[in-house]
Structure 1
Amino acid sequence: FDVAKTGDARIGFVGFPSVGKSTLLSNLAGVYSEVAAYEFTTLTTVPGVIRYKGAKIQLLDLPGIIEGAKDGKGRGKQVIAVARTCSLIFIVLDVLKPLQHKKLIEHELEGFGIRLNQSPPNIGFRRKEKGGINLQTLVPQSELDIDLVKTILGEYKMHNADIVLRSDCTAEELIDVVEGNRVYIPCIYILNKIDQISIEELDIIYKVPHCVPISAHHKWNFDDLLEKMWEYLGLVRIYTKPKGQLPDYTSPVVVKIDKCTVEDFCNKLHRAIIKEFKYGLVWGSSVKHQPQKVGKEHTLHDEDVVQVVKKV
């Protein structure tokens, strides 16, 4: 049921049956996912790949989620397990009944430990053999105190731990850190079928955060969707330059924005390169001089050009 991970990023389409996921996928990627006007047409994951700004992005049409997916109804458990491995989730909603669907899907995903558009809580947590529970707070807490922390950890039969709260945290966030199996994934809500509503309603929709209204059938507003997708994926393109040749602008090496040092770039090309690495020459916005000599810990920016100089 699961699909091999290819490309630089993977996006999962999640939504109720018949909101237009398959139509959207086939119009974006030119992949034929079985489309029909009755519910539960798609029963397995259908992969498609698009090239956008030189990056290969895998799109997965996940079968329709129903209420109770996290309890194993339908193919729900498998769908959500695949959703956990995505770098971005598109929640596709029908514009005529968006809010109740949105709440239900979020609830299903949260039950599986997927947190949408949140950053991991700023909590330091370490289990130890003895010494009881030691709580440090770096900022005033509105909710958590030592008794509540002891109660929560007692539920998990943990009686010895060091905890550092670096921001004002909720009990929910502490539980997330203790359980430790949470994934934090950015998410875009796609409101499909906008050809069925009025202009005034569309203006209201545009004010909702993380939202893109489209029409999959008429291919309206796809550019906006792709732009937003690129922004949420946080990818950085780096071009290679062989010695004495022009840079290769056709196939960039794509790395994540939080892992874009010269060393990460080398590892993405080939593991053996970093052993022979002497220094790098970089052209682009991350350096003052063009080109500039850099070490392997230098952080690269989008569309930099790199030439690796090896040890002789």
Structure 2
Amino acid sequence: MGILENPLPVCREPLPSALLCRASALPAQRIKEIEAEMARTQKNKATEHHLGGLKAKLARLRSQLLDPPKGSGGGKGDGFDVARQGDARVCMIGFPSVGKSTLLNSLTATSSQPSAMTVGASGTSAGTDSVKQLSAVGAYEFTTLCCQPSVFYVNNAKIQLLDLPGIIEGAAEGRGRGRQVIAVAHSCDLILVVLDATKDDRQQQLLVRELEAVGIRLNKRPPNISLRVKKGGGLTVNFTVPCPRLNLKTVQQILQEYKIFNADVVIREDCSVGLFVISIS
């Protein structure tokens, strides 16, 4: 048996930031590999089962990018951990410098003067000390670096409005602050897409693509699929309607990819493999 020179010590301290960055890059690299494999795989009856498994892996890896690595300190407390309040939560998503902060300041009337729309925690009118400061506005990109919350009222309903940093292309793979921004968007009841009216429709197409990559489908209702995870008994899958684009074998493979081995699944509408993955992710 050979003796290892300079053996590595047992590390009981938190991982250094360089190793954490390397660990977080692993899902992004795997995502690119799966996307490349899907691009070169022909779509036909013989490959639909294989493609279904790849789509499930892709969705799972992208969801991992939304969760910060343990010990990285990149989750709560980094300016994105905003407590939910009010009757509904709305966030604004767009590219940098499209006017999100300006719109927030206009809608919420946040200023140094007391406003009739401003209500304190006790339900009475608040003074200038309880009014939030203006969200930063600048003539340069990336003025907003964290989540800026504010509140406004519609028919006596309290709406929490979040101004999020601008995202860039590749946000779904973790570029920029896309991971944190998309994680906040998942927690909102409404996503307000803010666009630059002086530019073409490509910016809207890019935003929709980035959101759909992590399972956020704008202006579309969720598929009529129910999933009830149980402690035992295996998988039970029932189709109440004909579903030519999805079969039992593919459903089982997708669920196993998510480590779901015991569950009752009811599919009440014809849906694709991608929609089924979105419904359970």
Q: Taking structure 1 as the reference length, what is the TM-score of the superposition?
A: 0.51
> For residues 62-141 of structure 1, what are the structure 2 equivalents within 5 Å?
62-127=164-229, 129-130=232-233, 133-141=235-243
Rounded to whole Å, the distance in 2 between the matches of 1:126 and 1:9 is 27
Give the direction of change, closer, same or farther, for the CA distance of 1:88–1:158 in structure 2 (3 Å limit).
Answer: closer
Aligned partner (choices 4, 18, 23) of residue 102 of structure 2: 23
Percentage identity across aligned positions? 53
- Where relative contact order (Cα < 8 A, 6+ residues apart) is larger, the structure is 2
Task: Give the number of equivalent residue pairs.
Answer: 178
Q: Secondary structure at the match of 1:48?
A: strand
Q: Does 1:13 align with 2:92?
A: yes
Give the direction of change, closer, same or farther, for the CA distance of 1:159–1:7 in structure 2 (3 Å limit).
Answer: closer
Q: CA RMSD in A?
A: 2.3
> For residues 182-261 of structure 1, what are the structure 2 equivalents within 5 Å?
none
What are structure 2's unaligned runs of at least 5 residues?
1-78, 111-133
Map of 1:145 onto structure 2:
247
Q: Secondary structure at the match of 2:237?
A: strand
Rounded to whole Å, the distance in 2 between the matches of 1:4 and 1:158 is 31
Aligned partner (choices 171, 177, 186) of residue 279 of structure 2: 177
What are structure 1's unaligned runs of at least 5 residues?
180-312
Amino acid in the other structure paired with 1:121: P
Give the direction of change, closer, same or farther, for the CA distance of 1:104–1:7 in structure 2 (3 Å limit).
Answer: same
Map of 1:191 onto structure 2:
none
Rounded to whole Å, the distance in 1 between the matches of 2:258 and 2:201 is 35
1:250-307, Cα deviation, whole Å (9 max, x unpaired):
xxxxxxxxxxxxxxxxxxxxxxxxxxxxxxxxxxxxxxxxxxxxxxxxxxxxxxxxxx
Rounded to whole Å, the distance in 1 between the matches of 2:244 and 2:204 is 29
Q: CA deviation at 1:66?
A: 1.0
- Higher mean C-alpha displacement, 89-98 vs 149-158: 149-158
More strand by share: 1
1:152-204, Cα deviation, whole Å (9 max, x unpaired):
3454465655432211121112222343xxxxxxxxxxxxxxxxxxxxxxxxx
1:204-242, Cα deviation, whole Å (9 max, x unpaired):
xxxxxxxxxxxxxxxxxxxxxxxxxxxxxxxxxxxxxxx
Q: CA deviation at 1:120?
A: 2.5
1:107-162, Cα deviation, whole Å (9 max, x unpaired):
2223333332232221233456345x543221122311233334434544656554
Map of 2:158 onto structure 1:
56
Q: Taking structure 2 as the reference length, what is the TM-score of the superposition?
A: 0.56
